[in-house]
Structure 1
Amino acid sequence: MNIRWRLFLLGVLAFTITALAWIHPIPCYGETVRSAGQTLYVPAYSHVYHGDKGKTFNLTVTLSVRNADTKASFHLTAVDYYSSKGRLTRNYLEKPVLLGPLESTYFIVGESDVSGGGEPCFIVRWKSDKKINPPVIEAVMIGASSSQGISFVCPARVIEE
């Protein structure tokens, strides 16, 4: 293949990538996507299975909500816990909670609480008067028994802007 043909194909490829990025931009690392409110889905696990017979290993779930904005506050308007069957199990908030800049809070589902089944989730809603850095919301699961321990994190996913 001669050099002119290679340069032509490289130009076509560069043009196509540029056109696609313009049509559907992809956020770059470090780019801040600001929002005035969201509804988030946060997966959780109250237990995991292990062994050949599918024994369960119970976990404590901590839902962590962190204000990632250095200047603005937001209101946490709902923290709802749903079972594996999609049924509302618990409302954690009676009224909205104000989180100031870089402030955080958490909600716990105890290790012995199996009311949500094995794969429950949280639906979290927040709002602000202006566009801010969205909060960092994630479920942290941890369990320990004898010399065995497990821990992992599940990040929130935006389901409504």
Structure 2
Amino acid sequence: MKLYLYFSSTVVIIVLASCSLPGTPQKPQSDIGQVTQPQLRVVTLDDNSKIAMGQTIYVPIYSHIYYENQKEVLYLSATLSIRNTDLSNPIIVTSVRYYDTEGKLIKHYLERPVELGSLASTDFVVERTDNTGGLGANFIVEWIAKKKVSEPVVEAVMISAASNQGISFVSPGRVLKNHNNK
């Protein structure tokens, strides 16, 4: 009888532990692939749009790096991150272009300008298996604002986690041109 009560109690506890109350959020089984990209508002710019400031920014990207005296190659994925640091005002990202080592345009990442709200961010990914850019690949990012804002942070994070090796590093963007009071 004691064994039957113990077994019954154990089954009840297991069943109750595996159930959830209605409205209780379920935890994902894995964190991989659970990232959601915020919706960005597409904006239309015309010749009469008042622009207070903006920039053209160059961001180096590394699709691979050499090690072991250039005998071995480690392929990397790259995430371009654009972060609006202004506390109150949006910025408008007008262009995100990806170029290869030779300076040839590979891809336009935006079809139309998008608004990035205050303290919001967005990113663009070059997969580890995409080696079209080569070692000297880069992004050119252009943004504008209708009011004076604090400059955004534009940088790339490269990462590889192959086998027992892992590497990651950040490549900051560099301002090529400031656009003021157009």
Please tell me whether residue 86 in structure 1 is matched to residue 103 in structure 2.
yes
Q: Which has the larger radius of gyration?
A: 2
Letter in structure 2 aligned against 1:49: Y
1:15-63 CA-to-partner distances (Å, cap 9, x unmatched) read xxxxxxxxxxxxxxxxxxxx71000000110000011352210000000
Regions of 4+ moved over 6 Å: none
TM-score by length of 1: 0.77
2:88 to 71, 79, 104: 71
Query: What residue in structure 1 maps to residue 10 of structure 2?
Result: none
The whole-number CA distance in structure 1 between the counterparts of 2:139 and 2:94 is 13
The whole-number CA distance in structure 2 between the counterparts of 1:79 and 1:53 is 31
Please tell me whether residue 97 in structure 1 is matched to residue 114 in structure 2.
yes
RMSD: 1.0
Question: Tell me, what secondary structure is at the counterpart of 2:161?
Answer: strand
Query: What residue in structure 2 maps to residue 45 of structure 1?
Result: 62
Question: Tell me, what secondary structure is at the counterpart of 1:115?
Answer: coil
The whole-number CA distance in structure 2 between the counterparts of 1:53 and 1:36 is 43
Query: What residue in structure 1 maps to residue 159 of structure 2?
Result: 142
Question: Tell me, what secondary structure is at the counterpart of 2:110?
Answer: coil
2:171 to 154, 157, 160: 154
Query: What residue in structure 1 maps to residue 73 of structure 2?
Result: 56
The whole-number CA distance in structure 2 between the counterparts of 1:52 and 1:120 is 21
% identity of equivalent residues: 49
Which structure 1 residue ranges, 5 or more long, are not aligned? 1-34
Distance of aligned partners of 1:133 and 1:49 in 2 relative to their CA distance in 1, 3 Å threshold: same
1:108-147 matched pairs, under 5 angstroms: 108-147=125-164
The whole-number CA distance in structure 1 between the counterparts of 2:59 and 2:96 is 10
Q: CA deviation at 1:130?
A: 1.5
Distance of aligned partners of 1:136 and 1:146 in 2 relative to their CA distance in 1, 3 Å threshold: same
Letter in structure 2 aligned against 1:128: A
The whole-number CA distance in structure 2 between the counterparts of 1:96 and 1:132 is 18
1:105-147 CA-to-partner distances (Å, cap 9, x unmatched) read 0000000000111120000000011210011000100001111
TM-score by length of 2: 0.68
Letter in structure 2 aligned against 1:36: M
